[in-house]
Amino acid sequence: MAKGQGPLRTCVVTGAAGFVGSHLCERLLSLEHTVVGVDNFFSGHPENLNPFAAHPRFFFHERSVTEPGLLPGLRAQHGALFAVFHLAAIVSVPYSLEHPAETFQVNTQATLRLLEEAEALGVRTFVFAGSAAEYGDRDRMPLSETDANEDTRWLSPYGESKYWATMAVASRRGNLCGVSLRCFNIYGPRQDPFSPYSGVISRFVDMAVAQRPLTIFGDGLQTRDFVYVTDVVDAYCLAGLRDEENEATRLSGVFNVGSGRATSIVDLARLICRLTQQPESITFGPERPGDIRHSRADIEAITRVLHWMPRIGLEDGLARTIQWMRGSG
């Protein structure tokens, strides 16, 4: 929706201080909506809120999504809620392996309760941050939405917890439209490079900018589908702000969000060296346990139903990420 078009709405964003959540808040504010952000800073960073914290239409609550009555409380303070964008989660795969019960409590049970609260309050759209991890390890590419099912062998509680939440969201019928966006490897500005489990692009860009060698785990021939953060935000907005009068486009469902292209990790490393004008200084270490070999999204469904297309190619997105990392470093 272009700026100034359509009714202005109040949107809740959980995980507002996260990498993707903060970009989504900024976009919704730029579209002139009111944004109620929620985050408990478990993995989000307060500084991610800085660019818009003082915006007159942004309201922030330091709360956990596991608190019962969260949405009714926000409704009482901020009035009718049009959309809930639910991005808050346990996002670390290794953490989920160490804390499976907490992962299901946060990623699955809290989502089910938020869904029920949203429905009772007459919220129109509920958009959930699904994940490519819901597919487990599969040989056949590209991955289409039906490739995750009850027979999937998930590699982590993270993947399984996201799958069951996706199923609950996407099977919603009635007034509440539920959409799960199964995002592939998201990258871009504000992605934290400093955790050992950070995304490969944020780590490689950080290493290249600091003129340190890039470390590849394994032979580097594993492939991923990289999608730029503002393209992901486009998908959230298309899913969450759909014209409420048009029932045909308001069906619940699950959609992959990726570029539809596979890039090997070694090609990625070389490209980042070239774009940062560094010599190709690449080292190879042992394969990371639990790594999947290949991942690529089939994006036919989201293209057809939501008319979404990735707009930022890998080279362009990397250049923007490098520029941000240089500026913030």
Residues classed as catalytic: 158
Which of 274, 288, 304, 326 is in the footprint of ligand UD2 by CB under 6 A? 288
- Interface with ligand UD2 in residues 240-269 (CB under 6 A): 265
Q: Per-residue string for binding with ligand UD2, 207-226, x by CB under 6 A?
A: --------xxx----x-x--
Q: How far is the CB of 309 from ligand UD2 (least distance, A)?
A: 21
Q: Output the residue with the shortest Cβ distance to ligand UD2.
A: 199
The distance of closest approach from Cβ of residue 301 to ligand UD2 in the complex, given in angstroms and rounded to an integer, is 19
- The CB-of-204 to ligand UD2 minimum distance in angstroms stands at 7
**What is the maximal distance between C-alpha atoms in the chain?**
58
Phi, psi of 70 (to 5 degrees): -60, -55
| CA proximity to 89, closest of 75, 109, 59, 68 | 109
DSSP state of 143: B
Query: Could you tell me which stretch among 12-20, 118-126, 286-294, 319-327 binds ligand UD2 (CB under 6 A)?
Result: 286-294
Q: Which of 43, 48, 166, 185 binds ligand UD2 (CB under 6 A)?
A: 185
Instruction: Residue 142: name the closest of 171, 180, 178, 182 by CA.
Output: 182
- Residue 35 or 262 having the CB closest to ligand UD2: 262
The radius of gyration of the chain's CA atoms, rounded to the nearest angstrom, is 19
From CA 276, how far away is CA 207, in angstroms rounded?
Answer: 10
131 counts as binding ligand UD2 under rule CB under 6 A: yes
Task: Tell me: does residue 132 bind ligand UD2 (CB under 6 A).
Answer: yes
How far CA 29 is from CA of 36, 57, 273, in Å, comes to 10, 7, 35
Minimum Å gap between C-beta 203 and ligand UD2 is 4
Between the alpha carbon of residue 184 and those of residues 103, 135, 149, 224, the distances in Å are 20, 11, 17, 8
**C-beta of 285 vs 327, nearer to ligand UD2:** 285
Q: Which is nearer to ligand UD2, 74 or 186 (CB)?
A: 186
118 binds ligand UD2 (CB under 6 A): no
Asked if 271 touches ligand UD2 (CB under 6 A), the answer is no
Nearer to ligand UD2, 29 or 314 (CB): 314
Q: Does 292 bind ligand UD2 (CB under 6 A)?
A: yes
Q: Tell whether the torsion through CA atoms of 297, 322, 40 and 25 is positive or negative.
A: negative
In degrees rounded to 5, what are phi and psi of residue 308? -95, 140
Report how far apart, in Å, the C-alpha atoms of 146 and of each of 40, 103, 108, 135 are.
33, 24, 20, 9
- Using CB under 6 A, list all residues that contact ligand UD2: 93, 131-133, 185-186, 199-200, 203, 215-217, 222, 224, 265, 288, 291-292
